[in-house]
Amino acid sequence: MDWLLAELKTLSYLTKIINLYVLKKILFETHHLYYWPNFRPIIDEMIISENFEIHVSMPRRNLTFQQNILIKQCDNLSIKFITADSEQKRIEKIYNEAFDIIIVGNVGKLNKIVNDKTIAIMVYHGIGLKQSYYKDINSRINIRAVESLARFDELKNNGHKNLLLTGYTKLDRLFTITDKEINSIKKSLRLDESKKTVLYAPSFYPSSIEKISNQLPLVSQYYNVIIKLHGFSWEQKRYKYQNMLFTKMANENQNIYLVPNEQFDIIPLYKIADLLVSDISSTLFEYLPLNRPIIQAECYTLRLKHRIFTHRFWKRLDLKRWEDVDFVYKISNPEDLFSRIYYALDNVKEMQTFRKNASQYYLYKDDGGASRRLIMALKDYK
């Protein structure tokens, strides 16, 4: 009997050793291209660890522009991209692959592509002022990566039990991006090195674009103005007027630079910019680790139905989070934009403490380690 117990113990030990070296098959289900910057730091860490067989996919749509860019990204990293002739065939292919782990940025097609043994992970795509953060949930999610202790406690108090406090993976690249890459982007934008740089990164809706845009030519007489639009401003029919507006403006004004759609990663632009202007976008929070001035433009153009039924508009927003934002200069009159930019850049230290405190509150651990914490938790997950 003793020899049998010894054999069983040896077999158990060998099984554990084998499991350590068996590659975990993982899929990054990238619902939209702008989710990729949240996933890329995780992928970089997984490539280093050499414990994962990485795959990427994107829902099949009539327009393949986003997909073509993502395929190129995957080719550069030598990772596999899954596609098919139709969306149904793509879903079937993913399901049949029986992935060990699937990471998503929203619920999307999750229930159709996971099997019973798949570990489903949510790395949510945004941390702005919209209620979707709380509504885009599903009981099939095994692990939900959370970007801050405050949000972790809030979700926990609301009964969520699948939480993992990691930090915001997208911002890991602030710590790894090279000066060479930054300088290359600066060169491509042809910035005037004698001027400070303002980054305008609005949401697609509700948006400050209609009311703020007229002020940017004036701003550009004194500063470089980089405009980074949301992906939907390029890809969704109802918002395409936004990129058309700024394309024309960039052509007519020497110091206004519209970032093309294929340059989807905003992280390098954060490093370049001396000041951020936004509205309800996640960028308000993503820019905090740099501790540079932020202006929140609270001047929006609402759809007719939201002008008539205003309560529907406000229901879309996290009003408590909005009210707690105390680390920005707020403007409600578009004509105040230039004077506020001038003042903020002339008094960079004025709100420094507010921004530092906000970074600690809204973003967990300013150390570039969010992706590592997620991967370590994955290795220990049972």
Higher-confidence residue of 290 and 305: namely: 290
* Whether residue 12 has pLDDT greater than 60: no
Q: What is the mean pLDDT of residues 238-243?
A: 94
Matching CATH topology for 18-168+366-380 and 175-362? Answer: yes
Position of tokens 């949930």?
A: 137
Residue 290 binned pLDDT confidence (cut-offs 50, 70, 90): very high
pLDDT at position 166 is 97
Q: What is the mean pLDDT of residues 298-319?
A: 80
- Per-residue H/E/C for the chain: CHHHHHHHHHHHHHHHHHHHHCCEEEEEECCCHHHHHHHHHHHHHHHHHCCEEEEEECCCCCCCHHHHHHHHHHHHHCCEEECCCCHHHHHHHHHHHCCCEEEECCCCCHHHHCCCCCEEEEECCCCCCECHHHHCCCCCCCEEEECCHHHHHHHHHCCCCCEEECCCHHHHHHHHCCHHHHHHHHHHHCCCCCCCEEEECCCCCCCCHHHHHHHHHHHHCCCEEEECCCCHHHHCHHHHHHHHHHHHHHHHCCCEEECCCCCCCCHHHHHHCCEEEECCCCHHHHCHHHCCCEEEECCCCCCHHHHHCHHHHHHCECHHHHHHCCCCEEECCHHHHHHHHHHHHHCCCCCHHHHHHHHHHHCCCCCCCHHHHHHHHHHHCC
pLDDT of 129-156, one tens digit each? 888 888 888 999 999 999 999 999 999 9
pLDDT at position 302 is 77
Residue 2 binned pLDDT confidence (cut-offs 50, 70, 90): low
Higher-confidence residue of 305 and 41: namely: 41
Q: In the chain, where are the structural domains located?
A: 18-168+366-380, 175-362
pLDDT at position 318 is 83
31 beta partners: none
pLDDT of 156-201, one tens digit each? 999 999 999 999 999 999 999 999 999 999 999 999 999 999 999 9
* Whether residue 98 has pLDDT greater than 50: yes
pLDDT at position 100 is 96
The topology under which CATH files domain 175-362 is Rossmann fold (3.40.50)
Higher-confidence residue of 271 and 305: namely: 271
* Domain made up of 18-168+366-380: CATH architecture: 3-Layer(aba) Sandwich (3.40)
Q: What percent of the chain has pLDDT over 90?
A: 79
pLDDT at position 135 is 86
pLDDT at position 10 is 45
pLDDT of 320-339, one tens digit each? 888 999 999 999 999 999 99
pLDDT at position 1 is 52
For the entire predicted model, the pTM comes to 0.91
What is the maximal distance between C-alpha atoms in the chain? 87
The rounded mean pLDDT for the chain is 91
Distance CA 270, CA 263 (A): 13
